[in-house]
């Protein structure tokens, strides 16, 4: 099943790349202004093909090609290989929206609190991610370090992550138990 999902994502990525290529070559578009380098195009050109395919499968390409601005935390292809991606379009969409903020947040603008706490920021899924910047300038999202920051797009910015962020599920107790902190629950 995991292989089937990966094949679907890769097919979606190939389809998106093909459509983008032929749309760019269309002679009828010569009089039209060129499309901006959106966060979706940055994902495609930045080597995030699995993410691009997932965006296609979840019908989020049009949204993220919109005016935005958006901040996208883009998991690498390797990050997607270690997780089971939801096959349900709504669940996949919610997972991907958990990686997107409304507005442009560059690495230098992430709070660097003196007390080391993180700041909660609402994602397009309606759930919060927690961000912080260390004194050395490293940026973390839910404890995961951004590996490449500030890939600029015409409608926002993309930050590379080496993992897929997990949306919160259940309540605090259920989350603690699921993460192995069951001793805290007793």
Burial class of 2 by CB neighbour count within 10 A (0 to 12, 13 to 18, 19+): exposed
CA distances from 163 to 38, 73, 181 (A): 22, 10, 21
pLDDT confidence of residue 85: 86
Q: How confident is the model at residue 149 (pLDDT cuts 50, 70, 90)?
A: very high
- The predicted-structure confidence for 19-60, as pLDDT tens digits, reads as follows 333 333 333 333 333 357 999 999 999 899 999 999 999 999
Q: Identify the residue whose tokens are 């958990």.
A: 98
Task: Tell whether the model's pLDDT for residue 11 goes beyond 60.
Answer: no
User: Cα–Cα distance between 49 and 174 in angstroms, integer?
Assistant: 33
* Alpha carbon distance 127, 165 (integer Å): 12
pTM of the model: 0.72
Of the pLDDT bands very low, low, confident and very high (cuts 50, 70, 90), residue 5 is very low
Q: Is the pLDDT of residue 178 over 80?
A: no
pLDDT interval class at 177 (50, 70, 90): low
Tens-digit pLDDT profile for residues 97-106: 999 999 999 9
Q: List b or e across 55-71, with b for residues whose CB sees 16 or more CB atoms inside 10 angstroms.
A: bbbbebbebbbeebbbb
| Residue 178 or 11, more confident | 178
Question: What is the structure's pLDDT at 120?
Answer: 84
Return d(Cα 73, Cα 38) in angstroms, integer. Answer: 14
Question: Both tokens of residue 112?
Answer: 């660097």
DSSP E strands in the chain: the ranges are 70-75, 100-102, 119-122, 128-133, 139-141, 144-153, 156-161
């Amino acid at each position: 099943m995991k292989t089937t999902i990966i094949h679907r994502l890769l097919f979606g990525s190939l389809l998106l790349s093909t459509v983008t290529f032929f749309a760019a070559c269309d002679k009828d578009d010569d009089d039209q202004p060129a499309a901006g380098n959106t966060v979706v195009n940055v994902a495609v050109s930045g080597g995030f093909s699995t993410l691009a395919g997932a965006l296609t499968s979840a019908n989020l390409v049009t949204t993220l090609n919109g005016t935005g601005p958006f901040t996208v935390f883009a998991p690498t292809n390797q990050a997607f290989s270690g997780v089971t991606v939801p096959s349900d379009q709504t669940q996949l969409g919610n997972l991907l929206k958990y990686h997107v903020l409304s507005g442009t947040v560059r690495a230098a603008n992430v709070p660097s609190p003196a007390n080391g706490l993180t700041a909660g920021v609402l994602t397009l899924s309606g759930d919060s991610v927690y961000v912080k910047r260390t004194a050395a300038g490293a940026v973390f999202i839910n404890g995961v370090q951004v590996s490449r920051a500030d890939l600029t797009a015409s409608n926002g910015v993309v930050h590379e992550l080496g993992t897929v962020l997990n949306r919160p599920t259940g309540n605090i107790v259920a989350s603690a138990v699921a993460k192995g902190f069951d001793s805290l629950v007793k």
